Amino acid sequence: MRSRFSGWSLLLGGLTGQRGWREQWRAATPKKGYDALIVGGGGHGLAAAYYLAKEHGIRNVAVLEKGWIGGGNTGRNTTVIRSNYLFSESSSLYDHAVKLWETLSQELNYNVMYSPRGVLMLAHNVHDCQVSQRHIHANYANGVDNEWLTPAQAKAYCPPLNIGSELRYPVLGGALQRRGGTARHDAVAWGYARAADALGVDIIENCEVTGLKRDANGAVVAVETNRGVIESRRIGVSAAGHSTVVLQMAGVRLPLESFPLQALVSEPVKPIFPCVVMSNTIHAYISQSDKGELVIGASTDAYTSYTQRGALHVSLHTLEAVCELFPAFRRMRMLRNWGGIVDVTPDRSPIVAKTPVPGLYVNCGWGTGGFKATPGAGHLLAWTMAHDAPHPLNAAFTIERFRDGLLIDEAAAAAVSH
């Protein structure tokens, strides 16, 4: 039984040399079978297991992770949270997640360090201004906060920003979502893992799925793993960049391609950057972690790959844009850079749905922006698995939308990779 975290328990830990802390979840070994399996122990998969146990009473659940918890895209993203998407389906979906973020630390009894410090998306030309205004009005109609700032207001909100006219792409304004912000990515995975484990969920690390077994009717009955066969007639796949690899085992083809997406952090400095700033046009985006590092997101590579690195010229391009917008950062040194494999759909909207195979569900296609959706995606995948039918919020995010011409085309709405 794990003890609850509280101010008192932290104080007691401090007074007793921090020696009383226990592991936060059991190192479970696989049982013969489960009522539900989640393939992929990232934030999304762990959240799905947690909500299956918490809200749907399905506690005989295992999460299968081929590496370790927090070692995939959950530990590789830039932790941005926002819901200012154009289309009603998307803004409802992402705002569902933002609402869960707001109370997540209390819900999990684990500090996920959600910090609604504001996400400022810059406009650099007439087209950007028009698109931003369109987003603001659409968000307003959907009850999602987003407001227009003049360059002077943007500078007041984010003092390091250069709004001078000498820039190649001067700042003409920006859209600010005040409820947007960041959270601590590792804490999200650990918090969900701990809370799911406390409800009886088995979290099985170093367990790679190598095959999916099906019965005569085509329904899934088990997964084959490097730790043996594990039976279940209800399997949710939440494997991000490797979703196509796993779904291929059941003969399901997805409209996805996997790309390396890069991020990098600087050496840590004292607090200088109060919010998140994104510029789609010149592709800079940046925030500052609570450790003091500047967290910078670069673009995806041009080609599909599973290499978890990414080309140097891609991050260089982003650093040039960051240095132009924030001249104070020109002499800062970068500490680390890395890549994560993101699964991108043609319309840049996710798939959270049943598959054509009975008992097999999928949560994928979150592309370059899955972290922000972590609580919402897990909540909706759990709902879809528990009811064998989608929740109204993810009903439009099917695989069949591509066949039926019902795209939710955030790709065209943003006019950039994002």
Partner 1 sequence: MLLIPCPYCGVRPELEFSYGGQAHIARPQTSASAEEWAAFQYERVNTRGPHAERWRHTHGCGRFFNVVRDTTTDQILRSYRSGER
Residues that bind partner 1 (CB under 8 A): 242, 244-245, 253-258, 302-307, 311-313, 346, 402-404
Q: Which is nearer to partner 1, 171 or 353 (CB)?
A: 353
Distance (Å, whole) CA 48 – CA 55:
10
Q: How far is the CB of 257 from partner 1 (least distance, A)?
A: 5
Q: How far is the CB of 34 from partner 1 (least distance, A)?
A: 27
- Residue 125's contacts (CB-CB under 8 Å, 6 or more residues apart) are 169, 172, 281
Identify the CA nearest to 230 among candidates 65, 47, 56: 65
Q: How far is the CB of 396 from partner 1 (least distance, A)?
A: 16
Identify the CA nearest to 375 among candidates 203, 234, 202, 195: 195
Q: How far is the CB of 322 from partner 1 (least distance, A)?
A: 20
Distance (Å, whole) CA 231 – CA 404:
34
User: Residue 211 pairs with which residues in a beta bridge?
Assistant: 224
Distance (Å, whole) CA 308 – CA 66:
15
Q: How far is the CB of 56 from partner 1 (least distance, A)?
A: 31
Q: Which is nearer to partner 1, 11 or 312 (CB)?
A: 312
Q: Which is nearer to partner 1, 254 or 296 (CB)?
A: 254
Q: Which is nearer to partner 1, 97 or 411 (CB)?
A: 411
Q: How far is the CB of 109 from partner 1 (least distance, A)?
A: 38
Q: Which is nearer to partner 1, 200 or 251 (CB)?
A: 251
Q: Which is nearer to partner 1, 156 or 406 (CB)?
A: 406
Q: How far is CA 392 from CA 93, 236, 240, 247, 388, in A?
A: 10, 18, 23, 24, 13
Q: Are strands 360-364 and 235-237 parallel, antiparallel or unpaired?
A: parallel
Q: How far is CA 58 from CA 49, 238, 273, 394, in A?
A: 9, 18, 43, 21
For residues 379 and 53, the answer to whether their CB atoms sit within 8 Å is no
Q: Which is nearer to partner 1, 97 or 239 (CB)?
A: 239
Q: Which is nearer to partner 1, 177 or 398 (CB)?
A: 398
Q: How far is the CB of 266 from partner 1 (least distance, A)?
A: 23
Q: How far is the CB of 209 from partner 1 (least distance, A)?
A: 14
Render the burial of 207-227: b for 16+ CB within 10 Å, e for the rest: bbbeebbbeeeeebbbbebee
Q: How far is CA 207 from CA 74, 200, 201, 355, in A?
A: 17, 18, 15, 23
